[in-house]
Structure 1
Amino acid sequence: MSDENKRESAFQDVGLILMLALFCALAILMAVSGNLLLNILYLFLTMGILIITYFFGLITSLLTNFLFIAVQVLIVVYQYTVQKADVHWELAFWMIMPLILSVITYFMTRNQIKLQESNGELRSALVERGAFDEETNLRTTVAYVEDAGVFVETHRRFELPVATVIIKIRYFDDLKHMMSSNQLQALLHLASETIKAETRNNDITYLLNVEDPTWAVLLYSDAAGAGIAANRVKAGFNKQLLENSLLADLAIYMIAGVVQWNDDTMTTPYDLIDAGVRETQYDF
């Protein structure tokens, strides 16, 4: 996270704390001041002002706050002149609190928008680099090659086993001619979500090929451990498949190839991918 994003995130946290503190103070003031009817009315009006602040910005919020203050003044004048009632000065906090809450809401909203814009720019940059698939939120071959280099270097320095699981859909070329575009999209998302759900948090999932759907999981494990992960993914996929109304009636099978990195026979991450793809041919 960049320094600017950290600063915006900190502002967001501070704003949230201030907002909670002010609402606690508001609740205490409402309880102490009495006059249940006016307190409830002013509370609803304040919530409406905060909603206006969120959607329309600070200027509109300030104008609405000034209108709210004018309404309160008119109510006080009416009570004093027409009803001959005492002025409830204990309700004067309603002239200040909505304004403070509106300002805090505005700055929280502004910081949130900045964070969203920053995340969008980062997402676009990843898509442009080809390292991120926009449809499935998975890394692509470009990212796999970069990450695998780090995994292999870690393996050489600390003697940690590195393996990959290559996952495909059996007979996809024949299957896609019998499926609608909606079914193909559903299959892509179902498989992607299942693979992410069934793997550990420190295992990284990739979509290597969209046209002939090919996924990969990169993990610190030996071939046996990777095989267990592959079986877990396939079992989870079969379960989700039966519950999907679009795909349940189709003969769809997931196949997986498991390969462990070998310094003697492999030199680049592509060797790991190619070996994994070859292994899928023996999975039935």
Structure 2
Amino acid sequence: MKDDQRVSLGADLYLLLFLALFSITAVLMTLTQNVWLNTLYLGLTVILILLTYFFGLIVGLSANLLFIFGQILVMIALNTIQHSEIPVLMIFWLIMPLLLSATFYGMNHNQIKLQKSNAKLRADIMARGAFDEETNLRTTVAYIQDAQVFLETNRRFNLPVTTVIIRIRYYKEIRKMMSNEQYLELLKLVSETITTTTRNNDVVYLLEQNDPTWAILLFSNQDGAKVAAERIKANFEANLREAVNLKNLEILLVVGIASWTPEKMHSPYDLMNTGIKEIEYDVAQ
């Protein structure tokens, strides 16, 4: 985290320095009052910055050295051939493009490092199984960890803890008739329906993708969980009718509900497996 903060600070400093140098360049351009040469050099400076951005620091520095050499040739030509006087202040063009390219590269380099760090962090989270990549729901790993907290709350304050397990009836048969696009849409449709239907203090999980299995942990008794389950089914049916890509499929949700019973259960796995077992007794309408 400290490394990321240092890199972010570096990117900000390079940006401020780049803007300051650009402002100084604008002031010096005004003082020299050589419109056509300043315009030409400004355009070439922008090209040098873009070369540094797309091809790296080495290419950018090499191009800047060629630009400096070209400026020297222009000055010699104007003085010897045309006998034109070039203001001494025009010398700033020898160093400003180089400084602008270097600061822009530094800013971009630090931003790329931040992007890579964020991507790695996201990959680490996914690798540890905390969240499902497709739906951003918590997975089985998180379910077991969170259930421990729910069960400890149950022990201390005697609050009822219930889990609702949700699956798709005849999923294996339906999957054979679906394309990958339809599968992903169905996965997200069910996930969004459950998430938007449940209360804020209910936690939703996607336990498995091969045979899509969702779970909800809630502080409620069996009756309260049944009401929540029926509401999810009703909302899913309404949302399914609006899903154009899924209209040709007859999809029903089945639900299993299990409440924590300390006398019969010993771990969150017992609660989860009991809920999965209860699905067998749900007859979808």
TM-score by length of 2: 0.70
Q: CA deviation at 1:180?
A: 2.3
Answer yes or no: is 1:103 the counterpart of 2:102: yes
Measure, in 2, the Cα distance between the counterparts of 1:201 and 1:29. 59
Instruction: Please list, as runs of the form range in 1=range in 2, the aligned pairs for 1:154-169 lying within 5 A after superposition.
Output: 166-169=165-168
Q: Which structure has the larger Rg over C-alpha atoms?
A: 2
Measure, in 1, the Cα distance between the counterparts of 2:104 and 2:128. 36
Measure, in 1, the Cα distance between the counterparts of 2:198 and 2:19. 38
Query: CA, structure 1 residues 60+146, in 2 after alignment: closer, same or farther (shift >3 Å)?
Result: same
Q: Secondary structure of the residue that 1:207 maps to in structure 2?
A: strand
Contact 2:10 2:107 in 1 (8 A): yes
1:182-220 deviation line (CA, Å, top 9, x unaligned): 32234334545676788899876532101111234557x
Q: Which runs of 5+ in 2 are unaligned?
A: none
1:87-143 deviation line (CA, Å, top 9, x unaligned): 144443333232223222333333333334434444444444444444555442112
What is the one-letter code of the residue matched to 1:78?
Answer: A
Q: CA deviation at 1:248?
A: 4.2
TM-score by length of 1: 0.71
Q: CA deviation at 1:272?
A: 4.8
Q: Which moved more, 1:115-124 or 1:42-51?
A: 115-124
1:63 maps to 62
What percentage of residue pairs aligned between the two structures are identical? 46
1:213 maps to 212
Measure, in 2, the Cα distance between the counterparts of 1:38 and 1:236. 68
What is the one-letter code of the residue matched to 2:174?
Answer: L
Measure, in 1, the Cα distance between the counterparts of 2:256 and 2:205. 14
Answer yes or no: is 1:242 the counterpart of 2:242: yes
Q: Which moved more, 1:255-264 or 1:166-175?
A: 255-264
Q: CA deviation at 1:65?
A: 1.4
Instruction: Please list, as runs of the form range in 1=range in 2, the aligned pairs for 1:142-157 lying within 5 A after superposition.
Output: 142-150=141-149, 152-153=151-152
Q: Which moved more, 1:46-55 or 1:273-282?
A: 273-282
1:140 maps to 139
Query: CA, structure 1 residues 138+27, in 2 after alignment: closer, same or farther (shift >3 Å)?
Result: farther
Contact 1:199 1:233 in 2 (8 A): no
1:123-174 deviation line (CA, Å, top 9, x unaligned): 4444444444445554421122123334555676789987766444344233
Q: CA deviation at 1:24?
A: 4.0
Query: CA, structure 1 residues 111+158, in 2 after alignment: closer, same or farther (shift >3 Å)?
Result: farther
1:56-77 deviation line (CA, Å, top 9, x unaligned): 2222221111122223333333
Measure, in 2, the Cα distance between the counterparts of 1:67 and 1:124. 43
Q: Secondary structure of the residue that 2:84 maps to in structure 1?
A: coil
Query: CA, structure 1 residues 173+48, in 2 after alignment: closer, same or farther (shift >3 Å)?
Result: same
* Number of aligned positions between the proteins: 281
2:82 maps to 83
Q: Secondary structure of the residue that 2:214 maps to in structure 1?
A: strand
Contact 1:234 1:254 in 2 (8 A): no
Contact 2:197 2:231 in 1 (8 A): no
Measure, in 1, the Cα distance between the counterparts of 2:257 and 2:192. 20
